[in-house]
Structure 1
Amino acid sequence: MIKNKLAISHSQNYRRGPDYENNKQKHQAEPSTYPPPLMTDPHSQSPGWDYKQIAQQEINNNNILKTQMANLEERCRQQQLRINAMQAARDAQEDILGNQEPDINIKQRFNVVFSSIKTWCNKFPQDASRPLDGRSSVTEIWIPKELRGSVATLEGSFYGAGEVSPVAFQEWRALTLSLLCKAFPSYEWTKDAYHDLKQILEVVFMVLRPLASPTANQEELASLLLEGVFIEAIKLSQMMRRQRAYWYLSFPETEQRSDSQLVFRGEEMAEDGHDDGEDDEGQREDYERDIDMVILPGLHKKGNHDGLHYDVEHVAIKAEVLCKPRIK
């Protein structure tokens, strides 16, 4: 047994290394630095801890932290009150104006309406050389006839009045049209509205009927035009007019030239069947392209959802045009 103990001790010393005993004696000889040196108690000859001072310091630190936490909590509470007030104001506006649609929704509805127009026009394969006499000036056809003129008159008066700021005018416009949309939803349109729509249908068919295929079903074409184009266009107009941002359709206008010819402008127009990036800048400068036909209007926007920056205009969707052959 004694031999076994000696073997174990020898094995432990071997594993610990030759310097183990020297290091052990060295550490035992050095004075301990932990805990920190004791403070001298003035009422006693023996050293001791100043526990009262340490405790008081901890209490002071805790009080400082509590004060800081209380200040932060108060700032958070004030910030939350501001957020709640802003959200309440936004909710109140949405209760009156309805949801302010994101740009993508308006552009999608615009594309749906004019895609329907293109699809419907495919029923008329014959060529036409005479354009329409002009664009219709009928507006807000869904409003009862006795109110329709009043809205247009007020809008014209406010728009031209210098005392009415753009922000105030657009706020009035969005609020007025939102209330009218709620008062006269599509399922409660008056007989006057449908009567006026049918009159417009007759005018359109008077122009397009000679271009239709001989085998085309006239009643089916009229129904598609009414439901797929006219009513959808009215819904698009209602959506645009309810927004605080000012959305509108824009047809290209002639520049100041002697022949009053429309000139292609890439920032506002897109050529039918061509991508915007097909022609490089050098080609656009070398060639002057005249417009042969305006196919679709452009969609423009002024201002934003907050009712500000009406002086900034943005082309959301370019007008679609057909250009004449290029002339060097």
Structure 2
Amino acid sequence: MQPLVLLLTHAADHSTVDWVADALARRGALPLRVDTDRFPLDWQLGLRQERGEDTGFLRLHGRTYALEAVQAVWLRQWQPAALDDAVDARFRAQCVQECRHVLRALWDRLEGACWVNDLPQLERAGAKLRQLRLARAAGLRVPDTLCSNDPDEVRAFHARQARGVVMKMQTVLSPGMGGGAGNLYTTVIEAADLQDDPGLVLCPPLFQERIPKAEELRVIAVDGQLFCAAIRPRASSGRVDDWRPQSGLAWQPAQLPESVARCFRVLMRSLGLRYGAADFIHTPDDDWVFLEVNACGEWGMLQRDLGLPIADALAKALLTDSPLSSAAQSA
């Protein structure tokens, strides 16, 4: 019987899902794409606890799949329900919340499957300040960072940073690398920007020392295997200190020094992540600075531009017992 593998994503997702599906099919598995934002309008599920039995099903594309057949889950993205205008605006928020609870119950029902990554670890790993603390403990260099809604503390932090300060959000406002409406990129902050006390009080982002850049790296980790690429952003003439809005940049093959790679693998184990997309800065002084790791981060551009076999690595991970679980059992 073919292993059934769920690919949890959203309707606007792109070719990376197809690449992983193809890699799974080549290995004899049955991949099933599930667009989380299309629930409950376009697919149905049932979760039964009846007569001492715990069963369930998914029904989409005209077929029904027993939850007992699901052997692996790739949690690529999880987006809220996109309810149309048929739902009264007075009840839409409650309906979205109810759908979220139902999907969470589905994920709990599938906890015995092989996950990349499992939901509890993904949620814990999303805490940026915790990431930085664990990264420092793993031996990685991280930027000086402040998160505070005390305007005086923010201004004092800015004054202590001789190379300047950038601001970034802790949460993602839109999926994907291209951003979208309301997306906020990493931005250089001047002292004059810190005079709005009410603004600083109401929305405390992350403030970090500005790190000089020779190049920026995207490092994809899949069960300890690392795929690296570098990009050399142009010097910004504005306030945005982020390569993502810049067009015409080309990814180049790259590699982390083994000492840095070893520390990064320690961090991934500390976070309990089998997959992660990390950002590093390589400085002109040949230093390596860890910025963050996204448990659902993008990698398609690295496979597309450089041919890195990331989809194959993910397919292999989905059909392999978690090394984290194996390590825990042997401990």
Bin for the TM-score computed over the shorter chain:
under 0.3
- Indicate the structure (1 or 2) with the bigger Cα radius of gyration: 1
Q: TM-score, normalised by structure 2?
A: 0.20
- Higher RCO (CA 8 Å, separation ≥ 6 residues): 2
Higher helix share: 1
Taking structure 1 as the reference length, the TM-score comes to 0.20
